[in-house]
Amino acid sequence: MERQVEFYFDVVSPYSYLAYGQVERICREAGAELVLRPMLLGAVHNAVGITAPIQVRSKASYQLRDIQRWAEYYELPMRFPEPFPFRTLKTMRAAMVGENVESFVREAFALYWEEGGAPKGLEEADEDGPVREVARQIGSDPEEVLERAASGEAKEALKGATTEALERGVFGAPTFFVGDEMFWGNDRLFFVEAALKD
């Protein structure tokens, strides 16, 4: 049976962006399947009582430099979005019900973290332009993608996925599972890689 790495993420998470390309490579080299598990990070934090690091002044200033270090280490382009955090509810719903989830997620990470295209506010409409652009990049109809993202199916899918993440013990992003073993953080990818060799 092919090994799998389940990747719980939200595109608002800079560490998920940092981890994405690395976990793709790890899976490719190990002959393992990467299973994308979109979730809503804000809802996870609220459920487990975690304050986002950006809301703690000393942690926020450290985190910004830490993220830059990791981007340099991975040789990844990064344009830190302004404002941050940005809204991803519609983006993550679209990722749940899209025709090509892998391409959608890849382009969303690139647009939001490399190209300066993240939503510019926290209102629902602020996501429309970026979601349309991701849809265009992957060759999907932008209006159809937005319509699917607003559907009851997408809302329930993301809610269910976030609940499942919490039930499995997820408290932040990125989180990885190899079988029943959980690993949190892009800096634990070494252990993900090792688990695939066991």
Helix (H, G, I), strand (E, B) or coil at 60: helix
- In the numeric block, the tokens 């090509």 are attached to 100
Instruction: Evaluate whether 92 touches 40 at the Cβ level (below 8 Å).
Output: yes
What is d(CA 96, CA 81) in angstroms, rounded to the nearest whole number? 23
What is d(CA 139, CA 49) in angstroms, rounded to the nearest whole number? 39
Instruction: Evaluate whether 78 touches 114 at the Cβ level (below 8 Å).
Output: yes
Q: Which of 13, 16, 61, 140 is catalytic?
A: 13
Catalytic residue check, 16: no
Number of H helices, E strands in the chain: 9, 4
Give the residue from 26, 12, 19 showing the smallest Cα distance to 83: 12
Instruction: Evaluate whether 74 touches 22 at the Cβ level (below 8 Å).
Output: yes
Catalytic positions, written as ranges? 13
